[in-house]
Amino acid sequence: MKDIRIRALLPEDIHKIGALIATHDEIDRAGCQKRVELLKWLAFSNPHANGEPTYFVAEDGERIVAHLGRMPIKFLINGKIESGYFVHDLYVDPEYRKQGKGLFLTIALYKATEANSASFCCLVWTSDLNLQMQRRRGYHEMCADRYVKLLNPYGELERKIGQNSLAKAASLIFRGLGAVADSMLFLLVRPRLNISRIHRFDSRFDAMNQRAGTHKLGIMPLKTSEYLNWKFTQRPFSRAVVFAAEKNKEILGYIVLDIQNKGKYQTGTIVDIMADPEDRTTVCSLVIATIKHFRREKVHFIRCCLSNKKLGRILKRFLFFNTFFYKEPVMLANLEKFSKGNYLADIHHWHLTYADSDYFMLPG
């Protein structure tokens, strides 16, 4: 253990990172190359980094045997810009895990990240194993809500009924009834905004996010147009589909979507949503565009993670169900380094989605 060194990732380490990522059992050669490209983008393109370390690695001689991402981010906290960090993307070489060194390496990487972060750190959508370790280390634990809307129950019916033809017939009936119910809900809402698909975020999104963050959303990542383009449109291998709500050339909100293929079933994810939660017309219009898009793409179900209760209540109007049996974990570290640590410690003050940290859209 004494020969293992913890340090910041450098650009010249990328070939060593490639060798480490190649030890993933579930990733083939093409997938490995994509993961290396994505990690390089995360580590060296972050517009909020300003030269700060963005990954820490554990080095044993000439080999890098573990890494942990540290994503510098600006937050809007009641309208004031503050610095913070997302911690993400932990991986330890399986050989070292088998030798019983995995826990040591993980703790050493977390300690380095905490020590080199001048303000609070936030971990979102972490694994069960990491969750247990973070609890032992005294991280503050919160939970965000997970919402699901079922569009096509064929997969569940096939597992429970076991008869292919019967499952298909039942799912066809469900899909038809669901489409009718959605159409009736759409008529009741009657949105009158221009909803269009966009491929780049312009300066109008800066004004929209500033308004929402200053007046309506307590704690949220500062999502400037530069950050949004980095996150969604410039990201390697991005599958993001973005819809924006516009009125009189003013942007009122946006929603980011992703589709993942899992075997023969497709999962639609609301990756990010930003709008004034009290502006029901805008939020409803974005949700309607989302449901229509996912129905066209024959998605089986839609999932969304939100910490904002007002936005969650609007989703429920469109037959999204809160999965009370499953919450998304949110962990905080370094609260003592932030003057308003007690305010951060309440999930109801946060606006978080799947887009925050780096949960979504890993390359296939």
Q: What is the pLDDT of residues 254-307, one digit of tens each?
A: 999 999 886 667 899 999 999 988 898 999 999 999 999 999 998 989 999 999
Alpha-carbon distance of 27 to 268, in angstroms, equals: 22
How far does the chain reach from its first CA to its final CA, in angstroms?
Answer: 34
> Residue 112: which residues within 8 A CB-CB, separation 6 or more?
6, 56, 68
- % of the chain beyond a pLDDT of 70: 85
Alpha-carbon distance of 262 to 322, in angstroms, equals: 22
Sequence spans of domains, the chain: 4-119, 146-327
4-119 and 146-327: identical CATH topology = yes
> Where do we find the tokens 């500033």?
210
Q: What is the pLDDT of residue 361?
A: 46
Residue-averaged pLDDT of the chain: 87
Fold of 146-327: Aminopeptidase (3.40.630)
Half-sphere exposure of 32 (CA within 13 A, CB side): 16
Q: What is the pLDDT of residue 325?
A: 84
pLDDT in tens, 148-176: 998 876 555 555 555 566 556 656 655 65
Helices (runs of H) and strands (runs of E) counted in the chain: 12, 14
Has residue 360 got a pLDDT over 60?
no
SS3 175: helix
Alpha-carbon distance of 283 to 273, in angstroms, equals: 9
Nearest to 212 by CA among 143, 275, 119: 275
Q: What is the pLDDT of residue 158?
A: 52
Strand partners, 143: 329
Cα angle, residue 14 at apex, residues 9 and 16 outer, rounded to 5°: 95
Q: What is the rounded average pLDDT of the residues 129-151?
A: 90
Alpha-carbon distance of 120 to 226, in angstroms, equals: 23
Q: What is the pLDDT of residue 336?
A: 93
Fold of 4-119: Aminopeptidase (3.40.630)
Confidence category of residue 114, pLDDT binned at 50, 70, 90 = very high
Alpha-carbon distance of 37 to 117, in angstroms, equals: 25
Q: What share of the chain is helix, strand, coil (3-state, %, to 5)?
A: 40, 30, 30
Q: What is the pTM of this model?
A: 0.89
Amino acid residing at 259: I
> Residue 23: which residues within 8 A CB-CB, separation 6 or more?
93, 94, 95
Q: What is the rounded average pLDDT of the residues 84-108?
A: 93
